[in-house]
Structure 1
Amino acid sequence: MTSTNIPAELRYTAEHEWLRKVGPSTVRIGITDFAQQALNDVVFVQVPDIDAVVETGESFAEVESHKSVSDIYGPLDGVISATNDAVVDTPELVNTDPYGEGWLVEITVADGADLNAILAAMLDADGYGEAIAD
């Protein structure tokens, strides 16, 4: 496997998802460079509808390659506030730009949820790097 890009400004899950805060209560989510390399050629992406409820640990989307189908699990509780239509139409964006144009969805957390505290509890770049090195 080639070297893995792990941007320092993002947060990560053990399930190989990245999160970027894009608003006071909203995060953008995608799969990591490590995950897209493991999948290889992504051929299909399924994302939920806007306003769909996402629960921590529950599957809410799928990324499919020639090798396998991978569920994407909710990294936090919230509601889908945006989906990336470009990645649905052009799934290979997950491979070519996993942290940019290859993002999957945006989730808005419930009113009163402390997004900063939720993100602080997730893996930082160093922690994720250590997790995938094992």
Structure 2
Amino acid sequence: MSEVKQELWYTDEHEWVQRTADGTLRIGITDFAQHQLGDIVFVELPGVGTTIEQGAEVGTIESVKTVSDLFAPVAGTVMKVNEALESTPEMVNESPYEKGWMIEVELNNDVEEAVGKLLSAEQYEQLISDEQ
């Protein structure tokens, strides 16, 4: 069974979103997604300062099985990138919610409005139970 953290928001595309202490939103892929992908060998992410649109492709995740797109769950500007993933992409498999986070985004709009469009943990659990 995949881990779903109750304090996060989720997307249909299997990204998670977490509000940080400084008001940005941290984004990564879910435990379910990393299990589906298998061993992750490469992660390509946008650079700091990149403007992203909700729903748009913002990177790729390559595993031994496939290459998958990373989609932006919110619109905003990339403020931080997890540079450790360049040399150790397997951190996404080992710790998808902690060490394997991908980017932090400063929103273009209100946080509550942005996360209101995302799935709750309960809704995401239902989504992945339907996919298994």
Bin for the TM-score computed over the shorter chain: over 0.9
- TM-score (ref. length: structure 1): 0.93
How many pairs align?
A: 130
CA shift for structure 1 position 87: 1.4
CA shift for structure 1 position 117: 2.3
Aligned to 1:61: 59
1:26-45 Cα deviation digits (max 9, x unpaired): 10000000000000100000
**2:126 is the alignment partner of 1:130:** yes
In 2: Cα distance, 1:13 partner to 1:23 partner: 22
CA shift for structure 1 position 105: 0.3
Aligned to 1:27: 25
Aligned to 1:83: 81
Aligned to 1:107: 105
Structure 2: unaligned runs, 5 residues or longer: none
In 2: Cα distance, 1:122 partner to 1:23 partner: 20
SS at match of 1:64: strand
CA shift for structure 1 position 57: 1.2
SS at match of 2:118: coil
Question: Which is worse superposed, 4-13 or 115-124?
Answer: 115-124
CA shift for structure 1 position 74: 1.1
Do 1:11 and 1:123's aligned partners in 2 also have CA atoms closer than 8 Å?
A: yes
- TM-score (ref. length: structure 2): 0.95
In 2: Cα distance, 1:24 partner to 1:44 partner: 28
Structure 1: unaligned runs, 5 residues or longer: none
Do 1:24 and 1:115's aligned partners in 2 also have CA atoms closer than 8 Å?
A: no
Amino acid across the alignment from 2:120: D
CA shift for structure 1 position 120: 2.6
Amino acid across the alignment from 1:128: Y
Percent of residue pairs bearing the same amino acid type: 40
CA shift for structure 1 position 114: 0.9
In 2: Cα distance, 1:121 partner to 1:25 partner: 18
Question: Which is worse superposed, 15-24 or 63-72?
Answer: 15-24
In 1: Cα distance, 2:2 partner to 2:11 partner: 15
